[in-house]
Structure 1
Amino acid sequence: MRGEPSCPKCGGRVRPPGLFSDSWQCAVHGAVHPLQPVIPPSVEGLNVVTKRAQVPVWMPWPLPLGWLFTGVASAGDDRNGGRATAVACSGPGPVGGMGELLLIAEELGVGLGARYAGVDGPDPGPYIDVSSTPNAKVIAAGRPTPLWHVSGTPGDRAVFAGEALGLWLWAVVWPEQSGLLLYDELVLTDLREAGAEVDLLPIGALSPRIID
């Protein structure tokens, strides 16, 4: 994902708007919101993403004990703003070892969450059963937000998805056992609303999960 914008659905090269198209184009997926190059985690880089984002930039706040902010990604361009965001956090897993969490907010059809989840996209609808009892719950922007287990994902991760503020919310956790984090009703804050508190974020090394 580093270097140049890429397709949020497949990671392939994208062609910028030009004479024959007013949108970014992927040879496989057609018009897409380009995934911007990932930069090392910093407050400054996070502020760039939050200022242009048209969707929430979700993060557990406060972070679980010992957890660090380890990366942010955004799909969109300067004209249309960020239409999907992904925030990475890493720290001690609930059953030992290290855990990693990606929280993705996106508009319908962007496909970034499905890519991180490891399923065919672009949206989680075919992989969740909203008629069943939710498998987890978070508090997003002060509201209880149910999440359902996403089926068909690789066995190395646990994936949950639901809707928050009218947009898709994905939670992707490695390893699978660290999905227990989502059973504790994590409190998620939209970092666009966090103000100066963002300056207090504990920051770690860039997570390889967000550049995979």
Structure 2
Amino acid sequence: MIDKIKLDNILFLDIETVPEEENFKLLDEEKQYLFESKTQYQRKDEFTPEEFYDRAGIWAEFGKIICISVGYFVTKGDIRNFRVTTFFGEEKNILLDFSNLLNNHFNQPQHILCGHNAKEFDFPFIARRMIINQVEIPSKLNLFGKKPWEVPHIDTMELWKFGDYKHFSSMRLLTKVLQIPSPKDDIDGSEVAYVYYVEKDIDRIITYCEKDVIAVAQIFLRFRREDLLIEDEISHV
């Protein structure tokens, strides 16, 4: 099935998120209580809510998006080019720019969104933050009323499961076993909040996010038994 999808019709993406505030004490009293309640089963008795707050970026209710990186193929005959770009800045502007991209360039029935663990994280996180920021959800992210086979999403982690619902493979593991250059050669997800709030180095995060997008595209090519992208085929725009 995936062999029949035209590469030019796929938008590969990855997001980076952080806690909505730099530290727990900056939350108002009610938000602190709600975070404590939301995370009680994950924390158990090992961490206080304040100690656990550095993980708040994995929940759309307590985190925010700091960048969305996307990549797409442009093929002409035997020549292929993979173009990568990133939306960053104020979260609402990120979401508006991403929505405009979907509505203006990836809004046709043949268009598909693709990410790694994106059905569990990226896609719903973006949609929830759009609601919070009062941004209209594009049709490619609005799943209400759609049957499973009508959902225009591909998840490379789901493809790797082959129906095994218990199986989880990180992108780092999958790139290793598929002999793809690892995107985790600088920072990983657990360090993004520190780099954002303490080092204030958004460029480093953007580079990391774009490497993830390229890695997702490489994994997809592996599934199709096609040659991996080489550096000359990748453009940052």
Fold-level similarity (TM above 0.5)? no
Higher relative helix content? 2
User: Which fold has the larger relative contact order, with Cα–Cα distance below 8 Å and residues 6 or more apart in sequence?
Assistant: 2
Higher relative strand content? 1
Give the TM-score normalised by the residue count of structure 1: 0.30
Larger radius of gyration: 2
Give the TM-score normalised by the residue count of structure 2: 0.27
